[in-house]
Structure 1
Amino acid sequence: MNENQPNTLPPSYFDEVYRANQDPWNFETSAYEREKYATTMAALTKPQYEHAFEIGCSLGVLTEQLAPRCGHLLAIDVAEAPLLRAQERCRHLPQVEFQQRRLPEEFPAGQHFNLIVLSEVGYYWALPDLKRSAALLLEALNPGGQLLLVHWTPPVHDYPLTGDEVHDFFLRTATATGPLRLLNNQRHETYRLDLLEKI
């Protein structure tokens, strides 16, 4: 992992992907995704999170499962098309707020969270943007708050980073300086999960 990685994938990349296919990663139909979502939800250690933040919510499939555990859930995505479908999916959940934002440039300033979910997003950032985003996430996480990382691990040609590089960055930098401790780490055949808690 080095500073000469390809650039962060732009919003136009995702606009084109969703223009070609409404569910390009089979979030709604894949048995793999269902199993991963179940593992994700089971990893959360608290029954309720007052303020939660989901980055890259896409069609809102995981959002809908997270919402009952959240007092308020801010769910963001860079692309408009999946956000519209996510809003429709979660219209029965008044605690969910959807916004179109790009990180790190449009990070929700001044907000603090008890849970931040970064699932299948980190590898879209080039290393400098991962560093900036990580610093903002750690600052926005309340003491005792949790950061849940879940990412596909095989390399993807288009992506600047791999899932392992994203997780290893957080584990190496965030835990080395003391703000986070590791609560849970799991490696599955094609994805990994790490749950970190702010000290």
Structure 2
Amino acid sequence: MAAVETAYFQGLYAGCDDPWGLSTRWYEARKRALLLASLPNERWGRVFEPGCANGVLTLDLAGRADHVLASDLSQRALDAARLRLDAAGMRNVVLRRAVLPEEWPVAPEERFDLIVLSELGYYFDARSWACLATRVMDCLAPGGTIVACHWLHDFAERRLDTHAVHGAIARLAGLFPLVDHAEQDFLLQVWSRDSRSLARREGLA
């Protein structure tokens, strides 16, 4: 991510710990609930959330996981996330500052059962996002799941169309689509290395 984008995010958090209203807007709360309800497992082992912002979604993920790794390029966002997680008594989250994809925060041996890409991909150009998508796939555990959720409307800082963002994930070899939810405002999709639907996983079909 270029220095101009890094400066943009640092500027956002310079005046406010919640510049997008993640903790106050019903739109955000509903979207978050839909994302969480779309996950095929009730409980997860290891979760990775790049671009975690101030940790609103991170807190929900931590409640359903044994371990969460969350990263962001803004230290102020991470500080806000730490305060939120500590206030809730969540001790199963590691926060790392990283500028993606250059400063990939995942160790080569780390594998994750769930990777959450929320409101992140459109800040990258096509080449950088393809690089990040490949790294995401490399650290996805056998049977692991990827969820992507992104705003559909245009805005000044957008560098990549949301359908192109999701398309780069969908084209990765070895992934099977589980959820495809589109609204006027956002696109939510889930893929897994496990091709079975939730009903099949639970022996209902």
TM-score (norm 2): 0.88
Give the corresponding residue for 1:136: 135
For 2:95, the equivalent position in structure 1 comes to 98
1:11 to 2, 6, 10: 6
Equivalent in the alignment of 2:167:
168
Deviations 1:100-133 (A, max 9, x none): 1121112113211000000000111111110110
Per the alignment, do residues 36 and 9 of structure 1 end up closer, same or farther by CA in structure 2, a change over 3 Å counting?
Answer: farther
CA distance change for structure 1 residues 7 and 101 in 2, over 3 Å: closer, same or farther?
closer
Q: Which residues of structure 1 form unaligned runs of 5+?
A: 1-5
- The answer to whether the 8 Å contact 2:133/2:168 transfers is no
Matches of 2:152 and 2:176 in 1, distance apart?
22
Residues 7 and 160 of structure 1 are in contact (CA less than 8 Å); yes or no, is this contact kept in structure 2?
no
What runs of 5+ residues in structure 2 fail to find an aligned partner? Answer: 195-205
Q: Residues of 2 paired with 1:162 and 1:87: CA distance?
A: 31
Distance 1:81-1:135 versus aligned 2 partners, 3 A rule: same
Q: Does 1:187 align with 2:182?
A: yes
Distance 1:82 1:7, change over 3 A: closer
Alignment of 1:26-65 (within 5 A): 26-65=21-60
Q: Which moved more, 1:158-167 or 1:135-144?
A: 158-167
Q: How many residues align?
A: 190
Distance in structure 2 (CA, Å) of the matches to 1:122 and 1:160:
9
Q: Which of these residues, 86, 103, 107, is aligned with residue 109 of structure 1? A: 107
- Number of the residue aligned with 2:202: none
Q: How far has the Cα of 1:8 moved from its partner?
A: 8.2
Alignment deviations for residues 29-71 of structure 1 (CA, whole Å, 9 cap, x no partner): 1110010011011001112111110111111111111111111
Give the drift of 1:82: 1.1
- Give 1:9 shift: 5.7
- CA–CA distance in structure 2, aligned partners of residues 8 and 170 of structure 1: 25
Identity in percent: 32
Note if contact 1:113-1:141 (Cα within 8 Å) is conserved in structure 2.
yes
Q: TM-score, normalised by structure 1?
A: 0.91
Distance 1:11 1:89 in 2: 23
Task: Note if contact 1:9-1:159 (Cα within 8 Å) is conserved in structure 2.
Answer: no
Q: Residues 7 and 99 from structure 1, CA distance in 2 versus in 1: closer, same or farther, beyond 3 angstroms?
A: closer
1:167 Cα deviation after fit: 1.0
Structure number with greater CO (CA < 8 Å, separation at least 6) is 1
Query: What is aligned with 1:120?
Result: 119
> How big is the shift at 1:194?
0.5
1:8–1:160 Cα contact (<8 Å) kept: no
Separation in structure 2 between the aligned mates of residue 198 and residue 125 of structure 1, nearest angstrom: 25
Secondary structure of the residue aligned to 1:53 is: strand
How much has 1:168 moved relative to structure 2?
A: 2.1
The one-letter code sitting in structure 2 at the alignment partner of 1:38 is: A
For the residue of structure 1 that corresponds to 2:63, the secondary structure is: helix
